């Protein structure tokens, strides 16, 4: 009986190396950035305001994460083009922004204005940081925020690695 208990305990511990540990060691940009875009695209409160909720798409050829508010990538009222290869993987922060909200902020290397911001289909500015706000209702599990954070961080890291280093 003790053996079975220990086997269950060991199996549980190993399987608790969960998604977060897998992401931290992943070499799959598809998996990492997929977690980020999936979160953004599924984070709405079931409202009828789907056209104003943030959505995301990743361009694997150019390594650009596009976050937009609107109907599509071409029909939007706000859009941010975030070049992951230009971000600093050591400068990604998560902070509390109130009782039920957190914020992930990413910064470009050397604070260079590489993130493009568009409004009503016109470029407004280039900036060195981007904020993504996280509402608690966006996460099914408590570890969801950490999974999103680690996925974003790992995706940034992977876009900057040479194929021979992976």
Q: Does position 103 have pLDDT exceeding 70, yes or no?
A: yes
- Residue among 135, 136, 156 nearest 24 (CA): 156
Given this model, what pLDDT does residue 99 score?
81
Given this model, what pLDDT does residue 37 score?
93
What's the pLDDT tens digit per position in 11-34?
555 555 578 889 999 999 999 999
**CA pair distance 42, 121, nearest whole angstrom:** 24
Where is pLDDT greater, at 98 or 10?
98
| Distance, CA of 103 to chain centre | 11
Rounded average pLDDT over 39-54: 68
Q: Does position 9 have pLDDT exceeding 50, yes or no?
A: no
Residue 127 neighbours by CB under 8 Å, 6+ apart: 113, 115, 117
Q: How far is CA 52 from CA 43, 47, 78, in A?
A: 12, 10, 9
Residue 22 neighbours by CB under 8 Å, 6+ apart: none
């Amino acid at each position: 009986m003790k053996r079975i208990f220990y086997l269950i305990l060991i199996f549980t511990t190993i399987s608790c190396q969960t998604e977060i540990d897998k992401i931290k060691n992943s070499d799959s940009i598809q998996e990492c950035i997929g977690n980020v875009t999936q979160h953004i695209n599924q984070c709405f409160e079931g409202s009828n305001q789907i056209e104003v909720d943030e959505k995301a798409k990743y361009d694997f050829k150019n390594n650009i994460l596009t976050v937009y508010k609107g109907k599509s990538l071409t029909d939007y009222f706000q859009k941010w083009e975030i070049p992951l290869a230009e971000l600093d993987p050591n400068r990604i922060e998560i902070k509390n922004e109130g009782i039920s909200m957190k914020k992930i902020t990413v910064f470009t290397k050397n604070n260079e204005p590489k993130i493009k911001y568009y409004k009503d289909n016109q470029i407004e500015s280039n900036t060195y940081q981007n904020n993504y706000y996280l509402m608690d209702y966006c996460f099914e599990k408590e570890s969801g925020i950490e999974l999103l954070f680690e996925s974003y961080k790992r995706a940034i890291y992977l876009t900057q690695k040479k194929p021979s280093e992976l």
